[in-house]
Structure 1
Amino acid sequence: MMQWILPVVFVLAGLLAGIIAEKFFFKKLKTFVLKTKIPGSELIFLSLHRMTFIWFVLAGFSAAVLSAPIKPDIATVLHKIVTIVILYSVTIVLARLTAGFVNLFITRSEGVSASLISNIAKTAVFVLGSLILLQTVGVEITPIITTLGISGLAVGLALKDTLENLFAGFYLLISKQVRTGDYVKLADSHEGYVIDISWRNTTIRELSNNVIIVPNCKLSSAIFINYHLPVKEITLTLNVGVDYESDLEQVERVTVEVAKEVMAEIAPQLIANEPYIRFHKFGDFSIDFTLYMRVNEFFDQRIGRHLFIKKLHKRYQEEGIKIPFPARELYIPENAAKLEN
């Protein structure tokens, strides 16, 4: 029994060291580093979450195996198990770090979806780590790679739809036809903001906060309008009609002034693009024109119309400009009236 005291001490020491490292030193070091705002520090600590405890426990267990009175073949098996666990935990940490830094890099690139690329990067790290783990424990990976290559065709046929959506997602990202944050309108009248492009689907959030799930292959071959390309700024158009007795010079001046007031509220950075109107029709009861005004993006058209109609209606009343409603005058010939009598 005395021979087992030292191995048990090593195991308990590993457990105690892991708890102390996780609860005290690691936590305090994390707080210190986050306060100093070292770039990437938060990602590093999130990746190392619970791993310091596991590594201290494994170190204690490994020391216990070396000092325990056990057979060499059993000790070899136990050492392989420890090695596998250590390599797997390191693979997890590297996968977390890779996905985290990929997300960090991509989020700085406007409109690029992070989930698809980060998941691919994480999967690649896991595959590479698994191959290294197998090679370390003595498993020949060359036959495995050969088998995977031969069976790749069968897997590709079985996962035809999945792979089609995967490559379609890459095509959408590379071509930059659709980016996260873009406002798109599909041919079937669905429209909204693109919030994510994953390995299988593109997620679109409607203005009503509902979510539309579109397979990547469908979106890549669909006809749609991207209101954020080539730029987010969009021209708001609004049709207005004024009375035939109106002074059209006054109408143009007042309307443009009101449009400038609205732009100063919702799009002051675009004020250099002055709004303008174009008369285009002698209507049945009004002279019709269209206002053209720049706003920041598609969604701003709603608030732009709302403010413009309110302000224009008030200003027209102050200036004595009439917006006529449909009316028709009937002319009855005198002879026709006598015949009816």
Structure 2
Amino acid sequence: MYFAPTMPPFLDLIIPLVSGYLAPILILVLFIALGFIFKFLMESYLMHLAKKTETPVDDIFIASFGRPITYLFIIAGVSIALQLMPIPWEIKKIIIPAVFVLAVIIIAHAVTKFFIGVFRYYSYRNESLKGVAPLVQRMFQFLIYFLALIFIFDFFGVSITPLLTTLGIAGIAVAFALQETLSNLFAGIYIMADRPIRVGDFVRLESGDEGYVEDISWRSTRIRLLSDDLIIIPNSKLANSVLHNYSLPSKRSAIIVPVGVSYGSDLAKVEDITLKVARDIMAKFGVEGEPLLRYKEFGESSINFIVRIPVPSYPEHYKIVHEFIKELHTTYAREGIEIPFPQRVVWMKRGE
């Protein structure tokens, strides 16, 4: 008599369970292994090749996308495994969208990190981009994550047309309400990018105020006067004004000192003595260069000329001119050279 073998009751439950979950688990393990293999290749082989190139863009790309691609392999494995697993659809409806959202966030983060890294590298090499780099990076980061949000809304079937319409209308309203603020913002970006002035420059404003540029922000520029007072100028006004930057193209400058001597003076002697005094003052302050004297005009009371004296920087001209005028006055008095007062000769015709 033949008896058919029977399986224990617990195997009747385990075998279908194992057969239903084994393939998804193997797929998940395969994708995890592929992710770590890809990470290993990028960090060893591809990074080694990237270091041999002159541009750092490939290094930034590997640093930005190496680990996120590994995560994407794992997420892809989880997504496929969930599709194959014999679990209720209600659970899948919750997990699969969450996996998609996580994948979009990882991709957005990697793209943002890559482009910010590239922009940061070139901004450090380009003086005109240093000032605007933080602002541009934040704007680009906002744009990438905003696009990621649109992809997520589209995945869930949410129509983005009303949202974009609402944002457009709101943007117009905000633009009108913040017109002056936005004007200052874009003027600040222009100043930071074009760099007509830089922090530390010595400038003269249209009002005649002179001082050092202490800070350039997105809204205003701060200038520290020689009196130690602080002037705060909206960027929109500064961008549309005419200003004199004494620090460009270099800090080295020259100052013009007007002088006048009497008509009875020996002009050759005046020139020699004046230039000697200028050279002595320049040597006293360690200034390199050569002074220049040019006779300018026959004035009402004197023969007028100018003395051009090189200075290391414009703010230093105050003390140099101060010493020059004192020494020149003393030397002229000693040499008998007259600096005349304004005078007018009047001829009176006597009546007959």
Structure 1: how far apart are the matches of 2:54 and 2:168? Answer: 45
Q: What is the aligned counterpart of 1:44 among 50, 61, 67?
A: 61
Give the equivalent residue in structure 2 for 1:336.
Answer: none
Q: CA RMSD in A?
A: 5.6
Structure 1 residues 195 and 36, CA, compared in 2 at 3 Å: closer, same or farther?
farther
Give the equivalent residue in structure 1 for 2:293.
Answer: 277
The one-letter amino acid of 2:171's match is G
Q: What is the aligned counterpart of 1:236 among 254, 269, 278?
A: 254
Give the equivalent residue in structure 1 for 2:99.
Answer: 82
Deviations 1:199-236 (A, max 9, x none): x45577999xxx9976534644677543356x446532
Offset of residue 71 of structure 1: 3.2
Which structure is larger by alpha-carbon Rg, 1 or 2? 2
Q: Which runs of 5+ in 2 are unaligned?
A: 1-16, 260-264, 297-303, 335-352
Q: How many residues align?
A: 302
* Pair 1:114 & 2:132 matched: yes
SS of 2:128's equivalent in the other structure is coil
Structure 1: how far apart are the matches of 2:191 and 2:96? Answer: 47
Deviations 1:75-104 (A, max 9, x none): 354333333222333233333344444455
TM-score by length of 1: 0.59
Offset of residue 183 of structure 1: 4.6
The one-letter amino acid of 2:149's match is S
What percentage of residue pairs aligned between the two structures are identical? 24
* Pair 1:134 & 2:153 matched: yes
Offset of residue 258 of structure 1: 7.1
Structure 1 residues 154 and 239, CA, compared in 2 at 3 Å: closer, same or farther?
closer
Q: Which runs of 5+ in 1 are unaligned?
A: 281-287, 326-341
Contact 1:7 1:65 in 2 (8 A): yes
Give the equivalent residue in structure 1 for 2:187.
Answer: 168
Structure 1 residues 101 and 258, CA, compared in 2 at 3 Å: closer, same or farther?
farther
Further displaced range: 15-24 or 128-137: 15-24
Offset of residue 303 of structure 1: 7.5
* Pair 1:56 & 2:77 matched: no
Q: What is the aligned counterpart of 1:192 among 212, 218, 221?
A: 212
Structure 2: how far apart are the matches of 1:72 and 1:279? Answer: 98
Give the equivalent residue in structure 2 for 1:284.
Answer: none
Deviations 1:260-293 (A, max 9, x none): 989x987xxxx7xx6413589xxxxxxx986535
Give the equivalent residue in structure 2 for 1:93.
Answer: 110
